[in-house]
Amino acid sequence: MLEVKEVSVAYGVIEALRNISFTVGKGEIVALIGANGAGKTTTLRTISGLLRAKKGQIFYKGQDITRLPPYKIVELGLTQVPEGRRVFSRMTVLENLEMGGYVLRSRSELKAGLERVFERFPRLAERKYQLAGTLSGGEQQMLAMGRALMSRPELLLLDEPSMGLAPLLVREVFSIIQEINKAGTTILLVEQNAHMALSIAHRAYVLQTGEITLEGPASELAQKPEVRRAYLGE
């Protein structure tokens, strides 16, 4: 469904990604794990069109999206929940969700989208008219995910959804991700919490200072001594 082919990205003269290649198949949960500064966020921002690849190509459902502007990529069904949630804090919960549904063509689609999201996240329904900036961290993560689901994405990119959440909430977020996947959305998950990510992913890639160093089925990667040492704290 997604194919990243020999992509390099640089910030000025500093190369953040060097020749990375990976794929995400339809229906999969693929995890991309790596330490701080490895280039995970850079990878997702490049896929979404916020950053331009210096070299290489990105294909989504067979179409070359390397040079498309972000809004066109969303229209194709590829949506991202950015790192740090980034809810629109001065807008209400409802308005945030409406922005998530910006690409929907009709009012009835928007209404159906809201119903779906409120069903999955009842907390958001209770807080419809609250300013998003006044939500708790966990609620903001739910809003960021609900907002991304509004456009009915076929491929969802998630950038560290567990960041800054209490262990109980982390569990909840990951089980929601599994539910979303079971309902038919393909997922590319970026995480520092490698333990949780590997426990729900089908396959995984390890990113180390801008290069992919390991890849394989998640359960196999979780057994490798170098992964256990570097990312699972053993």
Partner 1 sequence: MLLQQIINGLTLGATYALIALGYTMVYGIIQLINFAHGDIYMIGAFIGVAAVAIFHQNFFLTLATAMLACVILGVTIERVAYRPLRRAPRLNLLITTIGVSIFLETFMTVLKGPQPTGFPTVLKNVTLRVGELEFSSIQLVILLVSLVLMVGLQIIIKYTKIGKAMRAASEDYDTASLMGININRVISFTFAIGSALAAAGGVLVGIYFNSVSPYMGVTAGLKAFVAAVLGGIGNIPGAMLGGLLLGLAEVFGVAAGFSTYKDAIAFTLLIIILLVRPTGLLGRPIQRKV
Ligand X SMILES: Nc1ncnc2c1ncn2[C@@H]1O[C@H](COP(=O)(O)OP(=O)(O)OP(=O)(O)O)[C@@H](O)[C@H]1O
* Residue 11 binding ligand X, by CB under 6 A: yes
Pick the stretch among 38-46, 102-110, 130-138, 164-172 that binds ligand X (CB under 6 A): 38-46
* Residue 36 binding ligand X, by CB under 6 A: yes
- Contact map string, positions 81 to 120, toward ligand X, x by CB under 6 A: --x-------------------------------------
Q: Which of 24, 23, 79 is nearest to 48 (CA)?
A: 79
Q: Which of 189, 191, 94, 89 is nearest to 150 (CA)?
A: 94
CA distance 134 to 40: 28
Coil/strand/helix, residue 77? coil
Hey, what are 138's tokens? 């966990």
Q: Which is nearer to Mg ion, 40 or 203 (CB)?
A: 40
Q: Which of 39, 61, 64, 37 is nearest to 155 (CA)?
A: 61
Task: Characterise 184 by phi-psi region: left (phi > 0), alpha (psi -120 to 50), beta (else).
Answer: left
Residue for token digits 């333990």?
A: 195
- How many residues of this chain bind Mg ion (CB under 5 A)? 3
Pick the stretch among 39-47, 137-145, 171-179, 226-234 that binds ligand X (CB under 6 A): 39-47
Q: Which is nearer to partner 1, 98 or 211 (CB)?
A: 98
Q: Given candidates 1, 41, 49, 187, which one binds ligand X under the rule CB under 6 A?
A: 41
- Contact map string, positions 156 to 195, toward ligand X, x by CB under 6 A: ------------------------------------x---
Pick the stretch among 42-50, 119-127, 161-169, 217-225 that binds partner 1 (CB under 8 A): 42-50
* Residue 16 binding ligand X, by CB under 6 A: yes
- Counting other chains too, the contacts that 178-185 makes at CB distance below 8 Å and 24 or more residues apart are 178/29, 179/120, 180/145, 180/149, 180/156, 181/27, 181/29, 184/27, 185/149, 185/153, 185/154, 185/155, 185/156
The single-letter DSSP state of residue 132 is G
Q: Given candidates 31, 33, 38, 41, which one binds Mg ion under the rule CB under 5 A?
A: 41
Q: Given candidates 2, 24, 40, 218, which one binds ligand X under the rule CB under 6 A?
A: 40
Residues that bind Mg ion (CB under 5 A): 40-41, 83
